[in-house]
């Protein structure tokens, strides 16, 4: 009888030991996963801030260049299309951000939306209508600031671009036209990706939910679901980690003075691989 009791006690001790080891292992795994999630949060936040800062620098510089060109046009003659053609063609060839633009690069667009001058094609004999671009209306309402339009196929480049423009007014406030351009989105994404952790994924969305592009999934969609946006001009962590286009979103960042939002996260397949390695 005593022998049976010892065997039973021994089995109980073994079970307790196994349970203790399992519990300790689970706690260690939990701590490691918590640490990994904190690392993801930190890296996503750092990447979002870097992306927003880099975009602001690019946009602000472009607007500054446009303002300089606009002032030269005012001083010379807003109706002198040959001068404007020479002016923007020179900027296309020598501007420091020329690699960001589609091959159409810079245009002079009249108040009625007609593209009078294109830096590659010169003065247009049959000006294409650009009045559908948001920068035409916004450039008149908010002159001397860079206004962004929906991503689109460039005219005449045929590239996937982010159209933008700076409205120009004279000293009396008369709207003269827009210095417009098309930023080649693939080149822009590549430039923004430089220096980021290779694991990081991000997508850029305008105020209407139109997707500019996504780093690791460049197929273009028309809109991002509204439920993924945090309310207002929110910038910060997104603890719910919503999944969209293969990416789990960890951070949302708005860009000051520009109607864009950056969503930063990681491809779900990568997260599963890293999390599985702990088990």
pLDDT tens per residue, range 103-113: 557 899 999 99
Determine the pLDDT at residue 34.
Answer: 61
The Cα–Cα gap between 202 and 189 comes to: 9
Determine the pLDDT at residue 86.
Answer: 92
Spans in the chain with pLDDT lower than 70 = 1-10, 20, 22, 24-36, 93-104, 155-157, 216-222, 231-232, 270-279
With beta carbons less than 8 A apart as the criterion, state whether 146 and 137 touch: no
Determine the pLDDT at residue 153.
Answer: 79
With beta carbons less than 8 A apart as the criterion, state whether 102 and 184 touch: yes
With beta carbons less than 8 A apart as the criterion, state whether 109 and 165 touch: yes
Full-model pTM: 0.81
Determine the pLDDT at residue 101.
Answer: 66
């Amino acid at each position: 009888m005593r022998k049976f009791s010892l065997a039973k006690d021994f089995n109980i001790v073994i079970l307790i030991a196994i349970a203790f080891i399992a519990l300790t292992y689970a706690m260690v795994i939990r701590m490691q996963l918590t640490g990994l999630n904190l690392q993801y949060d930190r890296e996503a936040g750092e990447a979002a801030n870097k992306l927003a800062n880099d975009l602001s620098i690019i946009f602000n510089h472009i607007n500054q260049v446009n303002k300089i060109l606009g002032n030269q046009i005012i001083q010379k003659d807003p109706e002198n299309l040959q001068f404007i053609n020479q002016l923007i063609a020179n900027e296309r060839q020598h501007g420091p951000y020329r690699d960001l633009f589609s091959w159409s690069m810079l245009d002079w667009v009249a108040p009625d939306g007609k593209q009078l001058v294109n830096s590659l094609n010169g003065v247009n004999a049959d000006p294409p209508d650009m009045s559908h671009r948001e920068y035409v209306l916004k450039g008149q309402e908010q002159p001397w600031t860079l206004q962004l339009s929906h991503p689109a196929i460039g005219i005449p480049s045929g590239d996937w671009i982010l159209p933008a423009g700076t409205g120009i007014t004279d000293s009396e406030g008369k709207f003269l036209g827009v210095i417009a351009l098309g930023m080649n989105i693939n080149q822009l994404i590549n430039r923004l990706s430089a220096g980021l952790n290779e694991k990081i994924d991000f997508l850029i969305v305008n105020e209407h939910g139109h997707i500019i592009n996504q780093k690791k999934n460049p197929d273009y969609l028309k809109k991002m679901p509204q439920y993924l946006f945090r309310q207002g001009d929110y910038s910060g962590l997104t603890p719910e980690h919503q999944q969209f286009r293969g990416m789990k979103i960890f951070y949302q960042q708005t860009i000051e003075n520009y109607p864009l939002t950056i969503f930063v996260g990681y491809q779900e397949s990568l997260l599963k691989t890293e999390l599985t390695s702990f088990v």
